[in-house]
Amino acid sequence: MKILVPIKRVVDAYVTVRVKADGTGVETANVKMSMNPFCEIAVEEAIKIKESGKAQEVVAVTAGPAACQETLRTALAMGADRAIHIQTDDELQPLAVAKLLKAVCDREKPQLVIMGKQAIDNDHNQTGQMLAGLLGWAQATFASKIEPGDGKAKIIREIDGGLETLEVGLPAVITADLRLNTPRFATLPNIMKAKKKPLDILSAADMGVDIKPRYKTVRISEPPKRKAGIKVENARQLIDKLKTEAKVI
């Protein structure tokens, strides 16, 4: 079985995000970038499936500028066998990414696609579902446990009030939730080995995909600052404030 793992380069999860002065986006100049945390979980799960003997190859893929190759090398250092970079400086929206990934799937013929449920920069949570729709494959989202079998996979996902168990036929698209696993750290020897692993560079034109944006971001702004609280003398005053100022009762 071959597993394809799409990943994304985002602002590091531990960096304080700053909005540009003109409100056109967030500041990325001189900002630490890293692999999207949910993508790390997807890479780890694919590697664990390979280590269990249920898969023979793990292929990481990303789309974006040349700097994304650094993120692919991280996936290779974690244990992916090879990587594919669809290089473009254009804005990539979820539908465009899904179409690019479909083209990669048509070329690579994986039996399973494992990807993060969402990216922490835009929180769209759309690409996995769109990819499954374009491919006509089964899908299972927000997986907290994956058990591949012979021609099928069992997925456990968290829902309100409990757990839901699904069984999908392969090929399938599965999106990873936070509690699926804990990603490993890439060791220095593996980081050095990753530099020699194959990394194919393609372009959107090579894939024959229209990546034209379908919508325009009008403005991005920071959330309003939270106002300081006040102290009240008694319950009567609290009720009065809730009625007249907060207007919640």
**% of the chain exceeding 70 in pLDDT:** 100
Q: Which domain holds residue 46?
A: 2-246
pLDDT at residue 147, as a whole number:
95
**More confident of the two residues 172 and 26:** 172
pLDDT at residue 138, as a whole number:
96
Token pair of 229, please? 């609280």
Stated pTM of the model: 0.87
d(CA 140, CA 154): 9
Task: Tell me which residue of 127, 122, 159, 125 sits closest to 144, measured CA to CA.
Answer: 159
Give the mean model confidence (pLDDT) for residues 29-42.
94
At 100-129, the pLDDT tens digits run 999 999 999 999 999 999 999 989 999 999
Domain CATH for 147 = 3.40.50.620
pLDDT at residue 225, as a whole number:
84
Work out the number of other CB atoms within 10 angstroms of the CB of residue 232. 13
- Structural domain total, the chain: 1
pLDDT at residue 26, as a whole number:
87
- What is the overall mean pLDDT for the chain? 93
At 79-108, the pLDDT tens digits run 999 999 999 998 999 999 999 999 999 999
- 36 band by pLDDT with thresholds 50, 70 and 90: very high
d(CA 240, CA 103): 61
Token pair of 121, please? 């920069």
Token pair of 129, please? 């579902």
